[in-house]
Every structure is written in C-alpha cells, then in structure tokens.
C-alpha cells in the first residue's frame, strides 16, 4: 500500500488549510496518509522535528511519499539525509520550501534564531537526492516569506521538477488555501 506523510510548517498543525483536503483525496486513491503533529510548532527546532518525523515514518520504501509545507520541507530533507544509503522513497512534494533563504520575518529574537538554525545547519543534498529520485517543488510568485530563488537548490541540487503558481502567497490555511490541486497532481504523478 502506498503511504503519504504530510508535514506541516512553522506554526502549522495537522488540520490546517489544505492538509485535511489532501489527506481525504489521497485516501480516496488508496493511500495510507499520516499528518503528524510536530512538537512546539511556534518554535520549531531541528533536534525536535527531525526525530519526530523519524519516529512517525520509520524506515520508508519506494511506496512512501512525503509532502511538506515550508519548514516541513526542510524537515523532510533532513530526515531523508539521515536514512541508510540503501533506502529509496517513492518521491516528495515540497510546497513553499526553502533551502537558500527567507524574507520579511518578524524582527524577534526567537524568530531570527529559529530561521538562522534551519538556514545554516549543513545539509548533504547529494545524499538526499540518492534517497529521493523524484520530487516536485511548488512555489508561489508572491510568497511573502520564501523568495522564488529558492527554486534553484531544489532544481539543481535535488533534481526537483519546479512548478510556480500565480498569487498563492505562502499556500497557508491562515490566508484561505483550503485546496491545492497541484500538490495532489504532483503526488499522483510521482506514484505512477
């Protein structure tokens, strides 16, 4: 059976925005879908989030797919990096993911500390790509936090197919994104 893990972002939660819709749609296509609640979402830390995803997802296989939103994308990448080198997943879909930088964050010590941690901790993207032969990275041309140049790392280092949507902001439930058909299409395309 195909499995999908939907990984929320900073300040996110499993029932936010398009996650319940995507879960329902994938379950209708006979996926087993898990949307874990990552610890302390208001102050996400690598040392808490990556082990939690590892605990929930365990050792994946070629029928396992990951879908991340924002900080959830980084969490997935860091989880994949730590897997044994013989493991290969079915694929991943990254929504508003960032590896290069963020913009317009609150001028707050905690916010800056969190962002700095995720942006400066090294990632072996070659190791990630070996475990993830197929991926799609979806961006918005008006994301207030994730500059579009983040697509470069996803395309060049991870081999992701790039999709740029028009005027979707940060694809957040808080701004009204309740459905995201491009993500469903990407997961189904990867799983064919």
Query: Average pLDDT over the chain, rounded to whole?
Result: 96
Q: Which CATH number belongs to the domain containing residue 78 in this structure?
A: 3.40.50.1820
Q: Which of 125, 124, 138 is nearest to 185 (CA)?
A: 138
Q: Is the pTM of this model over 0.95?
A: yes
In the structure encoding, which two tokens stand for residue 48, read together?
A: 């808490």
Give the pLDDT score at 103.
93
Q: Which domain holds residue 61?
A: 2-190
What tens-digit pLDDT sequence spans the chain (192 residues)? 999 999 999 999 999 999 999 999 999 999 999 999 999 999 999 999 999 999 999 999 999 999 999 999 999 999 999 999 999 999 999 999 999 999 998 888 889 999 999 999 999 999 999 999 999 999 999 999 999 999 999 999 999 999 999 999 999 988 889 999 999 999 999 999
Distances (CA, A) of 55 to 3, 27, 58, 60: 15, 22, 6, 11
pLDDT 10s digits, 58-69: 999 999 999 999
CA angle centred on 14, ends 98 and 9, rounded to 5°: 15
User: What are the DSSP E strand ranges found in the chain?
Assistant: 2-7, 31-34, 64-69, 91-95, 135-140, 161-165
How many whole angstroms separate alpha carbon 46 and alpha carbon 73? 12
How many domains in the chain? 1
């Amino acid at each position: 059976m195909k499995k999908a893990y939907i990984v929320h972002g900073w300040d996110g939660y499993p029932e936010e925005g398009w996650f319940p819709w995507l879960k329902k749609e994938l379950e209708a296509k006979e996926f087993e879908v898990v949307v874990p609640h990552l610890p302390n979402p208001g102050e996400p830390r690598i040392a808490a989030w990556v082990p939690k995803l590892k605990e929930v997802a365990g050792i994946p296989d070629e029928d396992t797919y990951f879908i991340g939103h924002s900080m959830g994308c980084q969490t997935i990448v860091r989880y994949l990096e730590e897997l044994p080198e013989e493991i290969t997943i079915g694929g991943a879909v990254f929504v508003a993911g960032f590896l290069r930088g963020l913009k317009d964050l609150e001028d707050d010590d905690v916010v800056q500390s969190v962002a700095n941690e995720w942006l400066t901790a090294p990632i072996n993207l070659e190791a990630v790509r070996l475990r993830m032969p197929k991926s799609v990275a979806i961006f918005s041309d008006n994301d207030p936090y994730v500059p579009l140049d983040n697509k470069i790392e996803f395309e060049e280092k991870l081999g992701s197919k790039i999709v740029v949507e028009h005027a979707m902001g940060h694809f957040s439930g808080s701004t009204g994104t309740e459905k995201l058909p491009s993500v469903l299409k990407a997961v189904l395309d990867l799983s064919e």
